[in-house]
Amino acid sequence: MPSISVVSFSPHERFHLLLCELDDTMFIVDCGWPLDTLYSDEADDTGKLRTAKSGTRLDPRDALSTINWARVDFILLSNYEQMTLLPYITEYTEFSGPVYATEPAKAYGRCVLEEGLCAALQGKAPAATHGGSSLPMASTSAVSHSSWSHAGGGRDEWKARLPYTQRDIIAAMEKITDVRHNEVISPVPFVQVYTRSSGYSIGSANWTVEYKNHRTAFVSTSTFATCLHPQEWDPKVLSDAQAIVFCDAVDPANSEDDEVGAARANAQVHQRINQLCSTAISTLKQRGRVLLIGEPYGVTQDVFQLVAEHTQALNLPLPQFIFVSPVAERTLQYGNIMGEWLCESKQALLYLPEYPFADKDLRQKNHLHFVHSLADLATKTIPQGNWFVVVPPHDTATIDFFARRWKQDAQRCSSAEMASGTGMARYSILMHDDDVARSQSLVNRLSVSSEITFVPISRRFTYRNIEQSLASAINAQHVLMPSSIYARLAAGASRYEFKMFEFSHLQATTVDLSADRHLPLNIQKEMTHQIKSSGKQCAVVTGQLSLAAGKIRLEYPGELAPAQALDTAAASESSVRSAVPVSSLPRDLSMWTPERLADELSEIGINATAAAPSDPLDKMVRIVVPGGSATIRMRGGWSVDCSSVSTQWTVMDSLRRVLKCA
| Interval 84-124: pLDDT, tens | 999 999 999 999 999 999 999 999 999 999 998 888 777 64
> Distance between CA atoms of 442 and 366, rounded to whole angstroms?
32
Portions of the chain given CATH number 3.60.15.10: 3-255+460-515
Decide if pLDDT at 237 tops 80: yes
- Residue 388 bridge partners (DSSP): 290, 321
pLDDT at 133: 35
pLDDT at 174: 95
> Distance between CA atoms of 150 and 659, rounded to whole angstroms?
63
Residue 531 binned pLDDT confidence (cut-offs 50, 70, 90): low
Decide if pLDDT at 43 tops 80: no
Question: For the domain 3-255+460-515, what is the CATH code?
Answer: 3.60.15.10
Mutual angle of helices 328-337 and 299-313, in 10-degree steps: 80
Portions of the chain given CATH number 3.40.50.10890: 262-454
Mean per-residue pLDDT, 175-187 = 94
pLDDT at 183: 92
pLDDT at 37: 62
Neighbouring residues of 295: CB distance < 8 A, sequence distance ≥ 6: 112, 325, 392, 393
- Supply the DSSP symbol for 602: H
Look up the pTM and report it: 0.72
Tell me which of 612 and 207 has the higher pLDDT.
207
Neighbouring residues of 314: CB distance < 8 A, sequence distance ≥ 6: 281, 285
| Interval 243-276: pLDDT, tens | 999 999 887 766 655 555 567 777 888 899 999 9
CA-to-CA separations, 614 to 447, 595, 611, 618, 623, in angstroms, rounded: 78, 17, 10, 8, 18
pLDDT at 113: 92
- If you average pLDDT over each of 66-70, 420-424, 635-639, which comes out highest? 66-70
3.40.50.10890, 2.60.40.2380, 3.50.50.60, 3.30.2310.20: which CATH number matches 262-454?
3.40.50.10890
Residue 75 binned pLDDT confidence (cut-offs 50, 70, 90): very high
| Interval 303-360: pLDDT, tens | 999 999 999 999 999 999 999 999 999 998 888 788 888 888 888 777 776 667 788 8
b/e burial code for range 421-450 (CB count within 10 A of at least 16 → b):
eebbbbbbbbbbbbbbebbeebbeebeeeb
- Cβ–Cβ < 8 Å for 628, 634: no
pLDDT at 201: 92
pLDDT at 173: 96
